Amino acid sequence: MKTYRFFLFAVAAVALISGPLASAEESGWLTDYKQAQQQAKANNKILLLDFTGSDWCGWCKKFDREVLLKPEFKDFARDNLVVVELDFPRGKPQTAELRKQNRYPGYFPDGPAAFIAELQKLRKG
Protein backbone atom coordinates (compact mmCIF):
# COMPACT_ATOMS: atom_id res chain seq x y z
CA MET A 1 0.00 0.00 0.00
CA LYS A 2 2.83 2.42 0.82
CA THR A 3 4.46 1.78 -2.56
CA TYR A 4 1.17 2.47 -4.34
CA ARG A 5 0.69 5.76 -2.46
CA PHE A 6 4.26 6.80 -3.20
CA PHE A 7 3.73 6.02 -6.90
CA LEU A 8 0.54 8.12 -7.00
CA PHE A 9 2.30 10.97 -5.21
CA ALA A 10 5.21 10.86 -7.67
CA VAL A 11 2.87 10.90 -10.68
CA ALA A 12 0.86 13.79 -9.23
CA ALA A 13 4.02 15.78 -8.46
CA VAL A 14 5.33 15.36 -12.00
CA ALA A 15 1.96 16.36 -13.44
CA LEU A 16 1.80 19.47 -11.27
CA ILE A 17 5.34 20.52 -12.08
CA SER A 18 5.35 19.86 -15.81
CA GLY A 19 1.68 20.03 -16.77
CA PRO A 20 0.81 23.72 -16.71
CA LEU A 21 4.24 24.89 -17.80
CA ALA A 22 4.80 23.61 -21.32
CA SER A 23 8.25 23.96 -22.79
CA ALA A 24 9.01 27.17 -24.64
CA GLU A 25 8.96 25.46 -28.03
CA GLU A 26 5.57 23.80 -27.41
CA SER A 27 3.99 27.09 -26.36
CA GLY A 28 5.24 29.16 -29.30
CA TRP A 29 7.99 30.85 -27.29
CA LEU A 30 11.37 31.02 -28.93
CA THR A 31 14.61 30.27 -27.13
CA ASP A 32 17.05 31.61 -29.73
CA TYR A 33 17.54 35.31 -29.01
CA LYS A 34 19.11 36.23 -32.36
CA GLN A 35 16.40 34.44 -34.33
CA ALA A 36 13.73 36.20 -32.27
CA GLN A 37 15.41 39.55 -32.80
CA GLN A 38 15.39 39.04 -36.58
CA GLN A 39 11.77 37.87 -36.54
CA ALA A 40 10.65 40.88 -34.49
CA LYS A 41 12.39 43.28 -36.85
CA ALA A 42 11.05 41.58 -39.99
CA ASN A 43 7.47 41.56 -38.66
CA ASN A 44 7.62 44.95 -36.92
CA LYS A 45 6.74 43.39 -33.56
CA ILE A 46 7.89 44.02 -30.01
CA LEU A 47 10.52 41.62 -28.65
CA LEU A 48 9.50 40.36 -25.20
CA LEU A 49 12.17 38.61 -23.14
CA ASP A 50 11.02 36.45 -20.24
CA PHE A 51 13.90 35.80 -17.85
CA THR A 52 12.78 32.81 -15.80
CA GLY A 53 13.87 30.05 -13.48
CA SER A 54 11.26 27.66 -14.86
CA ASP A 55 11.94 24.80 -12.49
CA TRP A 56 12.56 26.67 -9.24
CA CYS A 57 11.32 30.29 -9.25
CA GLY A 58 7.94 30.54 -7.54
CA TRP A 59 7.22 34.05 -8.82
CA CYS A 60 8.12 32.99 -12.37
CA LYS A 61 5.68 30.07 -12.18
CA LYS A 62 3.00 32.35 -10.74
CA PHE A 63 3.55 34.87 -13.55
CA ASP A 64 3.28 32.05 -16.11
CA ARG A 65 0.00 30.77 -14.62
CA GLU A 66 -1.62 34.14 -14.03
CA VAL A 67 -0.46 36.05 -17.13
CA LEU A 68 1.56 34.27 -19.80
CA LEU A 69 -0.61 31.16 -20.09
CA LYS A 70 -3.91 33.07 -20.22
CA PRO A 71 -5.76 33.21 -23.57
CA GLU A 72 -5.94 37.02 -23.39
CA PHE A 73 -2.15 37.31 -23.27
CA LYS A 74 -1.63 34.59 -25.89
CA ASP A 75 -3.95 36.41 -28.31
CA PHE A 76 -2.14 39.70 -27.74
CA ALA A 77 1.27 38.06 -28.11
CA ARG A 78 0.35 36.30 -31.34
CA ASP A 79 -0.50 39.61 -33.01
CA ASN A 80 1.99 41.97 -31.38
CA LEU A 81 5.00 40.20 -29.88
CA VAL A 82 7.87 37.88 -30.56
CA VAL A 83 8.32 36.11 -27.25
CA VAL A 84 11.59 34.65 -26.00
CA GLU A 85 12.16 32.54 -22.91
CA LEU A 86 15.60 32.96 -21.35
CA ASP A 87 15.61 30.21 -18.77
CA PHE A 88 17.96 29.73 -15.83
CA PRO A 89 16.90 26.33 -14.49
CA ARG A 90 18.55 24.55 -11.61
CA GLY A 91 17.61 20.98 -12.44
CA LYS A 92 16.18 21.00 -15.96
CA PRO A 93 18.75 20.04 -18.61
CA GLN A 94 19.77 22.55 -21.28
CA THR A 95 22.09 22.29 -24.25
CA ALA A 96 25.49 23.89 -23.78
CA GLU A 97 24.67 26.37 -26.56
CA LEU A 98 21.43 27.48 -24.91
CA ARG A 99 23.07 27.74 -21.49
CA LYS A 100 25.86 29.89 -22.98
CA GLN A 101 23.34 32.18 -24.70
CA ASN A 102 21.27 32.66 -21.54
CA ARG A 103 24.18 33.24 -19.16
CA TYR A 104 25.65 36.69 -18.78
CA PRO A 105 28.50 37.18 -16.32
CA GLY A 106 26.72 40.01 -14.53
CA TYR A 107 29.69 41.03 -12.44
CA PHE A 108 32.76 42.70 -13.90
CA PRO A 109 35.63 43.16 -11.46
CA ASP A 110 37.11 46.04 -13.45
CA GLY A 111 34.23 48.42 -12.76
CA PRO A 112 32.08 50.42 -15.15
CA ALA A 113 34.63 50.46 -17.98
CA ALA A 114 34.57 46.65 -18.30
CA PHE A 115 30.79 46.53 -18.15
CA ILE A 116 30.42 49.32 -20.73
CA ALA A 117 32.85 47.51 -23.03
CA GLU A 118 30.64 44.39 -22.85
CA LEU A 119 27.55 46.44 -23.65
CA GLN A 120 29.33 47.99 -26.64
CA LYS A 121 30.14 44.47 -27.92
CA LEU A 122 26.44 43.62 -27.74
CA ARG A 123 25.55 46.72 -29.73
CA LYS A 124 27.89 45.65 -32.53
CA GLY A 125 26.39 42.17 -32.61
Q: pLDDT higher for 12 or 95? A: 95
Which tens digit of pLDDT belongs to each residue from 33-84? 999 999 999 999 999 999 999 999 999 999 999 999 999 999 999 999 999 9
d(CA 70, CA 2): 38
Which secondary-structure segment (H or E) carries 96?
helix 96-102
Give the three-state DSSP class for 83: strand
Lowest mean pLDDT among 11-15, 54-58, 74-78, 101-105: 11-15
Q: Any residues with CB less than 8 A from the CB of 25 and at least 6 apart, and which?
A: 31
Where do the domains of the chain lie, and which CATH numbers do they carry?
23-124 (3.40.30.10)
DSSP state letter for 64: I
Q: Checking DSSP bridges between strand 81-87 and strand 46-52, what pairing results, if any?
A: parallel
Q: Does the pLDDT of residue 92 top 90, yes or no?
A: yes
Q: pLDDT category, 12, cuts 50, 70, 90?
A: very low
